[in-house]
Amino acid sequence: MMLRRNLQTANLATSNGRRERRKSDAGSGPEAGAQGRLSERRPVAVVDIGSNSVRQVIYEGLTRSPAVLFNEKVLCGLGQGVATTGRLNEQAVERAIAALHRFHALGEQAGVTQTHILATAAAREAANGSLFIARVEEIFGTSVMVLSGMMEAQYSAYGIKSGFHEPEGIVGDMGGGSLELVGVNGQIEGGITLPLGGLRLAEMAGGSLDKARDIVKAEMAKAKVAWPGSQRNFYAVGGTWRSLVKLHIARTHYPLMAVHDYHVPAKSFLAFCNRLVGEPIESVTGIDAVSRNRRTLLPYGALVMAQVLKTLKADTVIASSLGVREGYLFSLLPPEEQAKDSLLETARDLSILRARSPRHAQELADWSTMAFATLGIDETPNEARYRIASCYLADIAWRAHPDFRAQQSLSVIANTGFVGISHEGRAYLALSNYHRYQGLGTKVKLPEIASMATPRVITRARLLAAIFRVLYLYSASMPGVIPRLGLVANDENAFALTVPTDISDLCGERPQERLSQLARETGREITLQIV
Which band of pLDDT confidence, cut at 50, 70 and 90, is reported for residue 25? very low
Distance of alpha carbon 28 from alpha carbon 41, whole angstroms: 9
Q: Mean pLDDT throughout 488-497?
A: 91
The pLDDT value given to residue 197:
92
Distance of alpha carbon 241 from alpha carbon 319, whole angstroms: 8
Rg (CA), the chain: 26
Q: Which residues contact residue 90 at a Cβ distance below 8 angstroms, ignoring those fewer than 6 apart?
A: none
Q: Mean pLDDT throughout 13-38?
A: 54
Residue % of the chain over a pLDDT of 70: 94
Of the two residues 129 and 36, the one the predictor is more confident about is 129
pLDDT digits (tens, 9 = 90+) for 255-307: 888 899 999 999 999 999 999 998 888 888 889 999 888 899 999 999 999 99
Please determine whether the domains at 2-146 and 151-321 fall in the same fold group of CATH.
yes
Q: Mean pLDDT throughout 475-485?
A: 97
pTM of the model: 0.89
Answer whether residue 24 shows pLDDT above 70. no
pLDDT digits (tens, 9 = 90+) for 174-225: 998 899 999 999 888 788 999 999 999 999 999 999 999 999 999 999 998 9
Of the two residues 132 and 77, the one the predictor is more confident about is 132
Residue 498 pairs with which residues in a beta bridge? 486, 529
Distance of alpha carbon 334 from alpha carbon 28, whole angstroms: 22
Report DSSP letters for 447-462, one per residue.
PGGGGGS-HHHHHHHH
pLDDT digits (tens, 9 = 90+) for 330-347: 999 999 999 999 999 999
Q: Mean pLDDT throughout 459-479?
A: 97
Q: Mean pLDDT throughout 238-244?
A: 94
3-state secondary structure of 385: helix
The pLDDT value given to residue 34:
66
Q: Mean pLDDT throughout 30-39?
A: 74
Distance of alpha carbon 257 from alpha carbon 62, whole angstroms: 27
Answer whether residue 29 shows pLDDT above 90. no
Q: Mean pLDDT throughout 114-123?
A: 92
The pLDDT value given to residue 367:
98
Q: Which CATH superfamily is domain 2-146 in?
A: ATPase, nucleotide binding domain (3.30.420.40)
pLDDT digits (tens, 9 = 90+) for 126-147: 999 999 999 999 999 999 999 9
Distance of alpha carbon 215 from alpha carbon 334, whole angstroms: 41
The pLDDT value given to residue 14:
43
- How distant, in Å, are the alpha carbons of 12, 462, 468, 470 from that of 513? 60, 16, 13, 9
**What integer best gives the mean pLDDT of the chain?**
91
Distance of alpha carbon 167 from alpha carbon 319, whole angstroms: 12
Q: Mean pLDDT throughout 495-512?
A: 97
Q: Of 364, 348, 345, whose CA–CA distance to 477 is shortest?
A: 364
Which band of pLDDT confidence, cut at 50, 70 and 90, is reported for residue 32? low
Count CB atoms within 10 A of the CB of residue 275: 13
Distance of alpha carbon 117 from alpha carbon 46, whole angstroms: 6
Answer whether residue 79 shows pLDDT above 90. no
3-state secondary structure of 228: coil
- How distant, in Å, are the alpha carbons of 220, 294, 373, 519 from that of 523? 56, 53, 15, 6
**Domain ranges within the chain, ordered by starting residue:** 2-146, 151-321, 342-530
> Per CATH, is 342-530 categorized as 2.40.50.180?
no
Vertex 177: Cα angle to 174 and 180 (nearest 5): 40
The pLDDT value given to residue 17:
41
Q: Mean pLDDT throughout 83-90?
A: 89
- Residue 147 DSSP label: -
Which band of pLDDT confidence, cut at 50, 70 and 90, is reported for residue 5? very low
Q: Of 249, 287, 285, whose CA–CA distance to 268 is shortest?
A: 249
3-state secondary structure of 156: helix
Fill in the amino acid letter for 228: P
3-state secondary structure of 185: strand
Which band of pLDDT confidence, cut at 50, 70 and 90, is reported for residue 376? very high
What is the architecture, at CATH level 2, of domain 151-321? Answer: 2-Layer Sandwich (3.30)
